[in-house]
Amino acid sequence: MKASALTPLHILSRVGAALLGGYCFVWGVTTLGIVLATALGMSFSEARTLFYLLAFLLFTAVFCWAFAAASHGRAWLVLAGGGAAMTLLGWLLAH
């Protein structure tokens, strides 16, 4: 990514991908993770505690990745898109 392409809009998009996309991604991992863990026999509160413990480590990692990703479009796709997909899958499996 060329540094010359650093317009305010680009920066805003990266920040959005990192914060909102990252949040969506963590939400998705937490939802799907809890559903899968409970399916494997873990109690609900155990599973929730486990994913709460991992959530912010994961958020830190994907936040940094959003700024290292080759394009902000890719960051949005992976984080927001992936997060939405995981949340949907988790919701479907739970109901």
Residues in contact with other proteins by CB under 8 A are 1-3, 6, 10, 14, 19, 26-27, 30-31, 34-35, 38, 43-46, 48-50, 52-53, 55-57, 59-60, 63-64, 67-69, 72, 87, 90-91, 94-95
Minimum distance from residue 22 beta carbon to other proteins (Å): 9
Residue number, 3 or 40, with CB nearest to other proteins: 3
Q: What residue type is 21 in one-letter code?
A: G
Minimum distance from residue 75 beta carbon to other proteins (Å): 9
Q: What angle do CA 88, 94, 80 make, to 5 degrees?
A: 20
Minimum distance from residue 86 beta carbon to other proteins (Å): 11
Minimum distance from residue 7 beta carbon to other proteins (Å): 12
Residue carrying structure tokens 């290292």: 68
Residue number, 35 or 80, with CB nearest to other proteins: 35
Q: What residue type is 19 in one-letter code?
A: L
Contacts of 63 (CB under 8 A, 6+ apart): 18, 19, 22
